[in-house]
Structure 1
């Protein structure tokens, strides 16, 4: 297939996160003909629960948890930063391809991921160990802005859950060059991949050209975008191809814990 005939040809797409997530998304978009600009609008800062995190990681190394969970690739960075050790008897459940890639690259074990539809809800359905009469000790590590779907699902099943905010998500100002390219329409598609990114896009780019495609990943992000006044333009077949491409490599539950 020539570059001109690929579904995303003609699009110059702002990828609003870096790291493993940004690399996976950008590669998938380029394979479909898009040009990509990785310009993080969010970054990750130290948690407000640092003491609790340190204590939990000591318990993790000592084997006091049956399972730990992560749904964000940033958790692997947090574990690496703290020189964390996952005890051999502790199993690890992950959601999201970027999360799995980051854990593998960091040398951490992976016990369970959803077999299909890589989402938090699917993990809860397929995770057979949590539907027995045994009470499991589970450590859930998440962002301060993540919706605690996994944590609440485990608690509702009667398990002993230690939930820790492993990192904070903070906004990052776009460069002058990026702002100019968006204002001029040179960057003509924006990915909005979380509620926090929706806030940053609305605040930093208040006067988007009418022709710019705004692609919100998942219903939670779309609702957040609407709440901050960010328009969700139709976009047609190219917008749908953009959404499909991103969702083929990154599950929208990345912002669910």
Structure 2
């Protein structure tokens, strides 16, 4: 039995996102003996750049781009929704296990993912084509709340980058049942997986029980959570086990670009 499974055994954990991300995280938690409760606090809505997105997808189908990038599994949903076609000559660079799974399940190609640490920074380091002579035409598709690390990294190397906000992240109120379980302490831990989720947790659950573990993924999320007044269980071994379990299957990619 692993240390994580001893610490997480029987723990009821709120998983704040659905889809591929939520499924991967829930499975990882179950394998460590926890009881995940998938209750999305965010959802994804149409982009404010719909016309720009439609044109970019037409250019994608025509072969205008050398590469396309995505760091969120939601991008696969956006492509499917628009019946988008990736030209055979266009290569696809992805970050995140959930992103790669979603792309493959939707029938889209995956050319490159980081081989070591599955992060945006690692992709920039392990992507040899972007450091070769010449200018690449790259389409980057991302969320409106993502920090454009990958986009800026490509622009900084002199490439021709078309960046499009492919979707908006919006808050979702939880059901009365979930709210009661959180306020009563029947849900023992909350995963806070992005700055937007931190804002939703603070707004929807202003009176969390003292015993509730708040596990923030990534320094940006933690900073926003702290500013919003969420408690940080910094010395909690259970929190550390939660973070290690989650980070074993996902990363912070779709908060970055």
Partner of 2:138: 138
Q: 2 CA distance for matches of 1:100 and 1:5?
A: 27
Q: 2 CA distance for matches of 1:10 and 1:130?
A: 46
Q: TM-score, normalised by structure 1?
A: 0.97
In structure 2, the residue corresponding to 1:249 is in which secondary structure?
coil
Partner of 2:161: 161
Q: Which runs of 5 or more structure 1 residues have no equivalent in the other structure?
A: none
Partner of 2:209: 209
* Alignment RMSD (CA, Å): 1.2
Partner of 1:29: 29
Partner of 2:189: 189
Q: Which runs of 5 or more structure 2 residues have no equivalent in the other structure?
A: none
Partner of 1:253: 253
Q: TM-score, normalised by structure 2?
A: 0.97
Q: Within 5 A, what are the aligned runs for 1:83-98?
A: 83-98=83-98
> Are the counterparts in 1 of residues 233 and 239 from structure 2 also a CA contact under 8 Å?
no
After TM superposition, the runs of 4+ consecutive aligned structure 1 residues lying more than 4 A away are none
Q: 1 CA distance for matches of 2:49 and 2:236?
A: 44
> Are the counterparts in 2 of residues 213 and 235 from structure 1 also a CA contact under 8 Å?
no
> Are the counterparts in 2 of residues 120 and 253 from structure 1 also a CA contact under 8 Å?
yes
In structure 1, the residue corresponding to 2:7 is in which secondary structure?
coil
Deviation at 1:227, TM superposition (A): 1.7
Deviation at 1:233, TM superposition (A): 1.9
Across the two proteins, how many residue pairs are aligned to each other? 256
Deviation at 1:238, TM superposition (A): 1.1
Partner of 1:172: 172
In structure 1, the residue corresponding to 2:166 is in which secondary structure?
strand
CA gap 1:32/1:80 in 2 versus in 1, 3 angstroms: same
Deviation at 1:10, TM superposition (A): 2.8
Q: 1 CA distance for matches of 2:218 and 2:94?
A: 19
Q: Within 5 A, what are the aligned runs for 1:1-257?
A: 1=1, 6-234=6-234, 236-257=236-257
Deviation at 1:134, TM superposition (A): 1.0
